[in-house]
Amino acid sequence: MSDSAPEPAAPANGGPLLTPVQERNLALLRRAGEPLVFDREFIDNVTEQALAGIAELSERLGGERLWVSKGFLANVHGCEAKHLHPDEFEWTAANAAGFVAHKAIELALNWRGEPTPADVVDEALARLADQADQRGAFVGGLSDGDWAELRSRAIDRTTKFLQDFPPLPRGAQPVLEAASKWRPPGSIEFSGKVDLAIGKPNGNESRLLIVDFKSGNRAHHHRDDLRFYALLHTLRQSVPPRKLVSYYLDYSDSEAEDVTEGTLQAALVRTLEGIERHVELTVEGRPAVKRPGFSCRWCPLRGECAEGIAFLAAQHNET
């Protein structure tokens, strides 16, 4: 690893040896081939398309503010009926383990000395409980039993990361929970929070590696989530990332995609189409399209949606 292009690398001589799992994940993270530099005309064209699309959609919104995130896009491109329904999501010890583990991993990467999963998870829980938001209220209000369950689940995922993800040198400038926003003229704003960003700028060279930690099973929209992050970074910095990675904590495995012009163009089209669908549904009165899928299992409409009930019944009959 050279000083001019820091990225994940094997430990220096005398350091701990990488495990086979770490070696496999490292191979997906490292750069292959020549440095990546995107054509300036292409980047300018993507930005112009985004600005024009946002201006037109802002006008159709009538000045209403709209915040676009990966979750917003996943919802509107999924079941539109669910997208329009008020969010009734509630934290549980099972689904909160992800954000606790994320906080613990952030602490572990900046810990003095050798971090142990239990120590960083306990510190993460203490810090989260002090936050003045929904997560803080949830963690701070846990019963002893729920707290113990959440702690156990978070330790499990944090341990898997520390044992199976390749070590990150400081020269790679890893940043956890890296928030990004893009606010063009109009009433629409893009926002995202990357679980892990690796790499430092070097002119127009694409060096950034974006990693999204996933706690459950693989899903098609995970790749779309990362492509939205790539588009957001490109619009903010005018330099795209070089690679996008979904890291599945339960599987200790990664899925990686190199960023290309096609990647960014597809992300832009999907983003603008998603915003347009939202405008059609909320402002222009188009009826929502129901798209049953596995998310019907936890949809708040599942008791009254004939399409969802039929889908879940069919899945039950197949098992």
- Tokens of residue 101, six digits: 């583990």
Per-residue pLDDT reduced to its tens digit, 201-245:
889 999 999 999 887 778 888 999 999 999 999 999 999 999 999
Mean pLDDT, the chain, integer = 89
pLDDT band at 170 (very low <50, low <70, confident <90, very high): confident
* Domain locations in the chain as residue ranges: 1-6+32-288, 290-319
- What percent of the chain has pLDDT above 70? 94
pLDDT band at 2 (very low <50, low <70, confident <90, very high): very low
Per-residue pLDDT reduced to its tens digit, 260-278:
999 999 999 999 999 999 9
- What percent of the chain has pLDDT above 90? 62
Per-residue pLDDT reduced to its tens digit, 76-104:
999 999 999 877 778 888 889 988 998 99
Class at the top of the CATH hierarchy for domain 1-6+32-288? alpha beta
Which amino acid, residue 131?
Q
pLDDT the model gives residue 7: 54
DSSP string over 160-229: HHHHHSPP--GGG--EEEEEEEE--SSSEEEEEEEEEEE----TTEE--EEEEEESS---THHHHHHHHH
Give the pTM: 0.88
Average pLDDT over residues 56-62: 96
Q: What is the largest CA-CA distance in the chain?
A: 65
Average pLDDT over residues 52-61: 97
Instruction: Give whole-number Cα distances, 26 to 101, 124, 173, 254, in Å.
Output: 21, 27, 16, 10
Q: CB under 8 Å to 229, separation ≥6 — which residues? A: 70, 180, 192, 194, 210, 212, 241, 244
Cα–Cα–Cα angle for 168, 170, 174, rounded to 5 degrees: 65
pLDDT the model gives residue 300: 82
Residue 3 has pLDDT above 50, yes or no: no
DSSP string over 70-94: HHHHHHHTS-HHHHHSPP-----TT
